[in-house]
Structure 1
Amino acid sequence: MELQLSTPALLFSAITLLMLAFTNRFLAIASLIRGLHTKFNENPDEEMIVEQIHNLRKRLSLIKNMQLFGVFSFLLCVVCMYLLFHGFTSAANWVFVGSMASLLIALGLSLIEIQISTKALNLELADMEEIFEKRSGSLDFLFKKENKKNE
């Protein structure tokens, strides 16, 4: 199979959209960290806050690496197009493979970050469930209200 100039160019839009998604994740994490910082200053001994801080640190590191590999993939696409334009097909093929591998790594890191994010949400839910159970004995009262509205 011969690599054409349009093939790496197709990745531009995909990589750009991924970078936008990664940036949005970063901004959401930054907002969470700022909110958590305020909570931590109010009550530094709360165990859930400490767990969330560790969780956010891991996620922040993963997002940084996702962005790094995304940018590297984008850069290799540009290099690949340059090589194709000048007729270095064999080198362009290898650079394109590197670009795809970098994109694959970024996607894999994204998957790991999603798993950690879900774990963080479960921590929040567990904390709320404990409060609800202390007040009412169970979460059934939430579903009872909802069922009455539906009837």
Structure 2
Amino acid sequence: MNLTMSIPALLFPAISLTMLAYNARYLAIAALVRQLHKEYKTSHEKNIGVQIKILSRRLTLIRATQGFAILSFMGAVLTMLLLFLEMIFTADVIFIISLSSMMISLILLLIEIQVSTKALQVQLKDIKI
């Protein structure tokens, strides 16, 4: 397969939208951590402490997710530059790294979503139907 400029260019909107989604998750979790921290300071509830630990893990995962998405974006840009300079083999290698970075980012997102369900389970633990 011949790598052309249009192939890495297709990643631009996908990566940009992914970064927006990751950033929205990060901001929502950060706000929740601040709110729970205030509640924990006044009540010292164990349940809140557990939730804060889970949210801390989620923030770490989202930060890694964002980092790999950024590497993917930079790889796509570098691939286009290398194609422009007619360094085809190097462009192919960098593009493979870029795609791999996006795959790692998505896997980390899947893990973060699984961790987020644990936080919800902690919240729902004391409600009986």
Band the TM-score falls in, shorter-chain normalisation? over 0.9
TM-score (norm 2): 0.97
Moved over 6 A (4+): none
Aligned residues: 129
The 5-angstrom pairing of residues 14-93 of structure 1 reads 14-44=14-44, 46-93=45-92
Distance 2:5 2:88 in 1: 10
Task: Kindly state the Cα deviation for residue 23 of structure 1 after the two structures are TM-superposed.
Answer: 0.1
Distance 2:33 2:108 in 1: 20
C-alpha RMSD of the superposition: 0.7
> C-alpha deviations, 1:19-48, integer Å up to 9, x for none?
00000000110111011011101112x111
Counterparts of 2:6 and 2:84, CA distance in 1: 11
- The whole-number CA distance in structure 2 between the counterparts of 1:37 and 1:24 is 20
C-alpha separation between the residues in 1 aligned to 2:120 and 2:68?
26
Higher RCO (C-alpha 8 Å, min separation 6):
2
Separation in 2 of the partners of 1:91 and 1:127? 56
Shift of 1:107: 0.3
Q: CA separation in 1, counterparts of 2:46 and 2:126?
A: 11
**Structure 1 partner of 2:8:** 8
> How far, CA to CA, are the matches of 2:53 and 2:29 in structure 1?
12
Q: State the match for 1:97 in structure 2.
A: 96
- Where in structure 2 are there 5+ consecutive unaligned residues? none
| Residue matched to 2:110 | 111
- Work out the CA distance in 1 between the residues paired with 2:35 and 2:27: 13
